[in-house]
Structure 1
Amino acid sequence: MSPEQRLIRLITLKLIPFLILLYLVAYIDRSAVGFAKLHMGADVGIGDAAYGLGAGLFFIGYFIFEVPSNLLLDRFGARRWFARILITWGAITMGMAFIQGPTSFYVMRFLLGAAEAGFFPGVLYFITQWYPVRHRGKIIGFFILSQPIAMMITGPLAGALLGMDGLSGLHGWQWLFLMIGAPAVLLAWPTLRFLPDNLHKVKWLSAEEKTWLAGELEKDKQEYAQTRHGNPLHALKDKRVLLLALFYLPVTLSIYGLGLWLPTILKQFGGSDLTTGFLSAIPYVFGIVGLLIVPRSSDRLNDRYGHLAVLYALAACSMFLSAWLSAPALQLMALSLVAFCLFSTTALFWTLPGRFFTGASAAAAIALINSVGNLGGYIGPFGIGALKEYTGNLASGLYFLTAVLCFGLLLTWVVYQRLERRHAQQQVSMGNA
């Protein structure tokens, strides 16, 4: 193992497992509403369309507050800002146990999105401060493992907690929100205690290692002609940022649209809540496999767009089959292949912004891309709910997601032509100068 590999491995072992744990808790908190919906709707009067609207309002709060949150992270440091996010989102998740109807459901989902805003893009920005570009595909893939792992855990955990119905006079879905919100609050102190703000403040790197790593990050700025705006808010007007935000929209729309309705899809197979919970874990096993294989392949071949095109095409075909097939086993296989593609696509996409931006500009750019892209988290659940209510069939929502993924395939070619060609021209101009 080379000195560089040993250093990257050390940084990864020190940082990534803890960040995976934090995001795992976040993802469980935001997605458990899909299981709560199985009984919550009847108890407090929330129908399919109201559920879809409320589930999606999380991302409106996220959209509004994400850029300010990431800029405050750059100002106050990851350690303190992540701890603040943990406390607020955990408390609001626990508060979801006491909703009384559609209005309070809408308000709490919006507040949960506002509280969590900045965490995911904050971690992505944090990674750009520790890893050279050539290592980020694999590292982001490791971090995003927390998404399918969380969904694997959420299913059986939610099924078990829903079974606590009647204990201490609370419904099962109320126990679900209380039990999954508490860990976020409890993890705030370890975050303040153990998470470093930047590489210059850690004691487990030598002075030589810090100097080498800072030099490699500086080389990336020169090699990729990364942009640092004088005012980081100017990044929000950069056409590259807006194009990347549009490019991110199809994958988030599909992940959240499918994820928040997956328990309902699987419940149609028949079986108990616990059985549905265990079945829902299967697609996310395939998501983990994809994250362990595809980003490594992309790093090794130094190819992002070819991999993204194949993943979007395969995801679109699989999503179509999940709607068209009627046999539960075949439908579950198709959904598993969709998960394999979507989570891998997320990891590869997030290697792109760091190629073009650095510093506070990167923080603002990543936050805007994620906030605009996460509008798909509103459109997806709400669109599927509205289509289901209009047609009486969930398959119509899956066909809608198929069209969205085809749009993502088209955008892969557009982004490659617009961004990579421009980047190549900049490199030629720099060389001639």
Structure 2
Amino acid sequence: MSRRRRYALVGLGAIAYASLTFVWFSLPAWLDAIVADFGLTSTQAGVLTGAIPLTYVPVSLFSGVVTDYVGPYRAIGAGVTLFGGAQIGRAAAETFPALLALTVVVGVGGTAITFGLPKLVSELFPPERSGTPSSMYVVGSLAGTAAAFSIGRAVLGGPLGGWRPLFRYTGVAVLAYALLWWVIVRQAPLDAIGHTAGARGTDDRPTLSMAALTQDLGRVFSNRPMRLLVVVGGVYLLVTHGLQNWLATVLQSRGVGAALAASLVSGFVVAQAVGTLVVPAASDRLGQRGSVLAGCAGLCSLGTATLLFAPVPLAIPVGGALAVGFGVGGLSPLVRMVPAEIDGVGPELTGTAVGLVFAVGEVGGFLGPFLIGALYDLTGTYAAGLAVVCLGCLSAVIAGRRLPV
């Protein structure tokens, strides 16, 4: 398969990821309206918005292993179909339990995208050239997140008549894209895309069995470099969820106006996109993934440290927040790319390995925002929670330096 067609398939995968994050964050974008319609308590609203990350914890390993066996094309197609249908269901939900259950289904479908795309890149490209295609799909995820707020809520919501019509029409659009995905991949010569002669095609994958699943999980769990990568992945999610959820509030506590703080959060997302585009390509040229991971984690630690102290000139925490965004943007594709380069894992077990990273890492994704809020209640300052984030980043620096890639 030509290089252009390989990149085209990754581009289609990036659209699938953008579709997922649009559906995912369409609920937070409309949370105030949904809370009013359902009469939700703050606790119920918190459970609803945290349902998808928490779904990743029990589902990730199973989803990653299955992706290795069914292949990325079937996994991505099934995932898009699943969360597209769930989005339509959410538009018709009349009770909180129904809305919550369908949101969990969105999360289950999302795991197939999260692990299917690294698997796709590992089958299409050799490890030393996986940086740019990995950046493509991560940027797609950021675009979908931004669009959920800037387009879904601000532009389409009014003309369509509120959150229910928006959910319904976007769900239909996602299912239409799922159909397009199935048609395109059925036409592609998928048995000839491997970047090495030994790459598995779609017709020679091993039989899926409990014994095989257990064996693959054991291989990944026992791999020391994978355990180091799990530390980095947990810190990446700790920073992403912790800072992205609390940054505006922290800045406001430093005297920044609400409108400016919201704009700075948008800048944080833009910095993530820049890091996602720049860092993996740079790591391809340097050939030192572990050192680059450590550098990104160190940048996150330094940037978070600038938010600890007050009063300071506004430029310092703003610059620090942008540095964190750039660093975490670089970590995002790298934690998905590195498993394919680890001895004993490789492209064959990429889905299982990335599943492990997220199964454990999403615990950090939950703890990030939780600890910042809980420690504020205990101490009356955000510095305590931010200090925990700083220390977590330093542990990722050590783990990254020890990675043999």
- TM-score (normalizing by structure 1): 0.75
Deviations 1:359-380 (A, max 9, x none): 6533322322232223333333
- CA shift, 1:343, in A, is 1.3
- Measured at CA, do residues 41 and 95 of structure 1 come closer, stay the same or move farther in structure 2, by a change above 3 Å? same
- Measured at CA, do residues 248 and 277 of structure 1 come closer, stay the same or move farther in structure 2, by a change above 3 Å? same
Query: In structure 2, what residue type is equivalent to 1:19?
Result: G
Matches within 5 A, 1:186-197: 186-195=176-185
Match of 2:212 among 231, 243, 250: 231
Match of 1:318 among 278, 303, 321: 303
2:116 and 2:191 map into 1 onto residues whose CA distance is 18
Query: In structure 2, what residue type is equivalent to 1:136?
Result: S
- CA shift, 1:108, in A, is 4.2
- CA shift, 1:124, in A, is 0.6
* Correspondence for 1:46: 41
Matches within 5 A, 1:89-100: 89-97=83-91
- Measured at CA, do residues 163 and 270 of structure 1 come closer, stay the same or move farther in structure 2, by a change above 3 Å? farther
- CA shift, 1:217, in A, is 5.9
Which structure 1 residue ranges, 5 or more long, are not aligned? 1-6, 203-209, 219-229, 421-433
- Measured at CA, do residues 292 and 358 of structure 1 come closer, stay the same or move farther in structure 2, by a change above 3 Å? closer
* Correspondence for 1:401: 389
- CA shift, 1:144, in A, is 1.6
**Percent of aligned positions that are identical:** 20
Matched, 1:340 2:335: no
2:319 and 2:165 map into 1 onto residues whose CA distance is 31
* Correspondence for 1:426: none
Of stretches 252-261 and 382-391 in structure 1, the one that deviates more from structure 2 is: 382-391
* Correspondence for 2:147: 153
Query: In structure 1, what residue type is equivalent to 2:390?
Result: T
* Correspondence for 2:349: 361
Query: In structure 2, what residue type is equivalent to 1:45?
Result: L
Q: CA RMSD in A?
A: 3.7
* Correspondence for 1:214: 196
* Correspondence for 1:258: 243
- CA shift, 1:279, in A, is 5.0
- CA shift, 1:331, in A, is 4.0
Which structure 2 residue ranges, 5 or more long, are not aligned? 201-210
1:395 and 1:180 map into 2 onto residues whose CA distance is 40
1:90–1:185 Cα contact (<8 Å) kept = yes
Deviations 1:374-424 (A, max 9, x none): 3333333443444455556666544443332222223223x42xx56xxxx
* Correspondence for 2:360: 372
2:318 and 2:148 map into 1 onto residues whose CA distance is 18
Matched, 1:136 2:126: no
2:372–2:384 Cα contact (<8 Å) kept = yes
Q: Alignment length, in residue pairs?
A: 385
Deviations 1:270-322 (A, max 9, x none): 567xx887654322222222222222221111111222222111111112323
Query: In structure 2, what residue type is equivalent to 1:371?
Result: A
1:109 and 1:391 map into 2 onto residues whose CA distance is 34
- CA shift, 1:65, in A, is 2.4
Of stretches 389-398 and 66-75 in structure 1, the one that deviates more from structure 2 is: 389-398
1:152–1:280 Cα contact (<8 Å) kept = no
- Measured at CA, do residues 84 and 375 of structure 1 come closer, stay the same or move farther in structure 2, by a change above 3 Å? same
Q: 1:215 aligns to what SS in structure 2?
A: coil
1:28 and 1:292 map into 2 onto residues whose CA distance is 20
- TM-score (normalizing by structure 2): 0.79
1:367 and 1:216 map into 2 onto residues whose CA distance is 23
Of stretches 11-20 and 176-185 in structure 1, the one that deviates more from structure 2 is: 176-185
